[in-house]
Structure 1
Amino acid sequence: MSVRISAENYSQEAVIEDRKIITSASVFGILRKQLAKNIGIKRIKGFLFHYGWEMGVKVAKEALESGSSLEYLIKHGPIIHIQNGHISGIKHDCTYELDKNKRIKNFYSYGTWYDSYEAVEHLKGIGKSNGPVCHTLIGFASGFMSTIFGETLLARETTCVGKGDSECRWVIKPKKEWEQELQEEDALDFYNETPIVKELELTYDQLLDQKNIVTRLAHFQNQLTEEIINGTDLQTIADMVYETVKIPIIVEDAVHSTITYSGLEQEQHLLLKTDMENYLQKTQFHTNPLLPFRKKIIKTSIQERLITPILLQKEVIGYCSFLYEDINNHYQEEDYLFLDRFANASSLILLNEKTKFETFERMKGSFLEQILEGRLPASEMIKRGKYTGVNLEKHYYIAVMEYGKTQGSIEDDFLLEEQIFESTFRYFKNKKQNILAGHRDGSMVLLITTETLQNKTIDDVMQQYFNYMNQKFPQGHFKLGISRRGEDIGQASRCYEEAAIAIRLAVKKKIVQFQSLGIVGVLINSKNISGIKMIAEQELGPLYRFEDPKMLELLKTLYSFLLNGGKLEQTMQDLALSMSGLRHRISRIENLLEKDIREPHEMHQLLLIIKSLIAIGEITFD
Structure 2
Amino acid sequence: MKTLKLNDLLHIRQENELWFANNERSVFVSTKAFGAMQRDLIENIGINRMKTFFFKYGYQLGVEDAQEVAKKDSLNLLEKIQYGPIIHALKGHAKSHITEKEFEVEGNEIKSFRFKGVWENSYEAEQHLKNFGISQGPVCYTLTGYATGYVTGVVGVDVFFKELQCQGQGAPCCVWEGRLVSEWKDEAEEFFSYSKELPILKELEQTNEKLMLEKNNLALVSKTYNEMTNELIKGNNIDSILDILHKQNQYPIVVEDSRQHVLAYKGINLEDLESIRYTFSEIPDKKQCHSKVGIFSFENGTRLMTPIYLLGQVVGNCSFLYQRERTPNYEIDSMILDRLASICSLLFLKEKTEVESMEQVKGHFLEEIISGKYTQQEIMRKADFIQLDLSNHYHIVALTYKFLNTCDEKEFTLHKKTFEMVSAYLREEENINVLIGQRPDTLILLITEKQVPQQNLEKTTRALVSFLKKHIKNALFLAGISSQNSNILEAGVAMEEACSAVRLSSRDEPITLFGDLGMLGILINDQNEQAIKKMIRDYLGVLYENLDKNKLELIETLYHFLDQGGNLDQTAESLALSKSGLRYRLNKITDLLDCDLRDPQRQFQLMMALKALKIVEHERIKKILAE
1:566/1:220 CA distance change after superposition, 3 Å:
same
Q: Please name the residue that 1:267 is paired with.
A: 271
CA-based RMSD of the aligned residues comes to 5.4
**Gapped runs of 5+ residues in structure 2?**
1-15, 17-23, 285-290, 623-627
1:50/1:393 CA distance change after superposition, 3 Å:
same
Inter-partner Cα distance in structure 2 for 1:338 and 1:512: 52
> Which of 386, 389, 397 lines up with 2:395 in the alignment?
397
Q: Please name the residue that 1:39 is paired with.
A: 45
Q: Is the 8 A contact 1:98 1:105 kept in 2?
A: yes
Inter-partner Cα distance in structure 2 for 1:461 and 1:564: 26
How many positions carry a matched residue from both structures?
Answer: 579
Inter-partner Cα distance in structure 1 for 2:536 and 2:130: 110
1:77-96 deviation digits (Å, cap 9, x = unpaired): x99x99xx966999999999
Which is worse superposed, 250-259 or 139-148?
139-148
Alignment of 1:396-475 (within 5 A): 396-406=394-404, 408=406, 412-430=410-428, 431-453=430-452, 457-475=456-474
Q: Please name the residue that 1:347 is paired with.
A: 345
Inter-partner Cα distance in structure 1 for 2:149 and 2:329: 41
Q: Secondary structure at the match of 2:187?
A: coil
Letter in 1 for 2:496: E
Q: Is the 8 A contact 1:554 1:589 kept in 2?
A: no
Alpha-carbon deviation of 1:398?
1.2
Q: Secondary structure at the match of 2:447?
A: strand
1:340-389 deviation digits (Å, cap 9, x = unpaired): 34333333322222222122112211111111111111111111111222
1:61/1:205 CA distance change after superposition, 3 Å:
farther
1:565/1:146 CA distance change after superposition, 3 Å:
closer
Q: Is 1:356 matched with 2:359? A: no
Q: Please name the residue that 2:256 is paired with.
A: 252
Inter-partner Cα distance in structure 1 for 2:537 and 2:68: 131
1:168/1:352 CA distance change after superposition, 3 Å:
closer
Inter-partner Cα distance in structure 2 for 1:142 and 1:462: 80
Tell me the TM-score normalized by structure 2: 0.71
1:579/1:326 CA distance change after superposition, 3 Å:
same
1:47-85 deviation digits (Å, cap 9, x = unpaired): 455567678889999999xx996869998xx99x99xx9
> Which of 237, 241, 245 lines up with 1:237 in the alignment?
241
Q: Is 1:210 matched with 2:208? A: no
1:116-161 deviation digits (Å, cap 9, x = unpaired): 99899999999998656574x8878877887788766778889999
Letter in 1 for 2:439: R
Which is worse superposed, 456-465 or 557-566?
557-566
Alignment of 1:557-596 (within 5 A): 563=563, 576=577, 577-579=581-583, 581-586=585-590, 588-590=592-594
1:152/1:505 CA distance change after superposition, 3 Å:
closer
1:63/1:514 CA distance change after superposition, 3 Å:
closer
> Which of 329, 348, 369 lines up with 2:367 in the alignment?
369
Q: Please name the residue that 1:200 is paired with.
A: 204
**Gapped runs of 5+ residues in structure 1?**
1-11, 13-19, 284-292
Inter-partner Cα distance in structure 2 for 1:408 and 1:142: 68
Q: Is the 8 A contact 1:400 1:480 kept in 2?
A: yes
Letter in 2 for 1:199: E
1:252/1:449 CA distance change after superposition, 3 Å:
same
Q: Secondary structure at the match of 1:250?
A: strand
Q: Please name the residue that 1:180 is paired with.
A: 183
1:512/1:156 CA distance change after superposition, 3 Å:
closer
1:411/1:371 CA distance change after superposition, 3 Å:
farther
Q: Is the 8 A contact 2:542 2:592 kept in 1?
A: no
Inter-partner Cα distance in structure 1 for 2:104 and 2:551: 110
Inter-partner Cα distance in structure 1 for 2:134 and 2:469: 73
Q: Is the 8 A contact 2:52 2:191 kept in 1?
A: no
Q: Please name the residue that 1:522 is paired with.
A: 522
Inter-partner Cα distance in structure 1 for 2:229 and 2:377: 45
Which protein has the larger Cα radius of gyration, Structure 1 or Structure 2? 1
1:310-369 deviation digits (Å, cap 9, x = unpaired): 333333333334444569954545544333343333333222222221221122111111
Inter-partner Cα distance in structure 2 for 1:590 and 1:90: 108
Q: Is the 8 A contact 1:110 1:169 kept in 2?
A: yes
Q: Is the 8 A contact 2:95 2:122 kept in 1?
A: no
Alpha-carbon deviation of 1:403?
2.4
1:46/1:388 CA distance change after superposition, 3 Å:
same
Inter-partner Cα distance in structure 2 for 1:621 and 1:126: 77
Identity %: 30
Letter in 1 for 2:258: A
1:618/1:223 CA distance change after superposition, 3 Å:
closer
Q: Please name the residue that 2:12 is paired with.
A: none
1:156/1:419 CA distance change after superposition, 3 Å:
closer
Q: Please name the residue that 1:288 is paired with.
A: none
Q: Please name the residue that 1:476 is paired with.
A: 475
Q: Secondary structure at the match of 2:186?
A: coil
1:56/1:506 CA distance change after superposition, 3 Å:
closer
> Which of 380, 385, 388 lines up with 2:386 in the alignment?
388
Q: Is the 8 A contact 1:435 1:452 kept in 2?
A: no
1:370/1:51 CA distance change after superposition, 3 Å:
same
Q: Please name the residue that 1:513 is paired with.
A: 513
Letter in 1 for 2:494: C
Q: Please name the residue that 1:315 is paired with.
A: 313
1:455/1:150 CA distance change after superposition, 3 Å:
same
Tell me the TM-score normalized by structure 1: 0.72
Letter in 2 for 1:479: L
Q: Is the 8 A contact 1:543 1:555 kept in 2?
A: no
Which is worse superposed, 262-271 or 141-150?
141-150
Q: Is the 8 A contact 1:306 1:336 kept in 2?
A: yes
Alignment of 1:125-136 (within 5 A): 131=138, 135=142
Alpha-carbon deviation of 1:433?
0.9
1:383-433 deviation digits (Å, cap 9, x = unpaired): 111122211122211111222343659974433322221111111112111
Higher strand share: 2
Q: Is 1:497 matched with 2:496? A: yes
Which is worse superposed, 137-146 or 351-360?
137-146
Inter-partner Cα distance in structure 2 for 1:443 and 1:374: 20
Q: Is the 8 A contact 2:383 2:389 kept in 1?
A: yes
Letter in 1 for 2:518: G
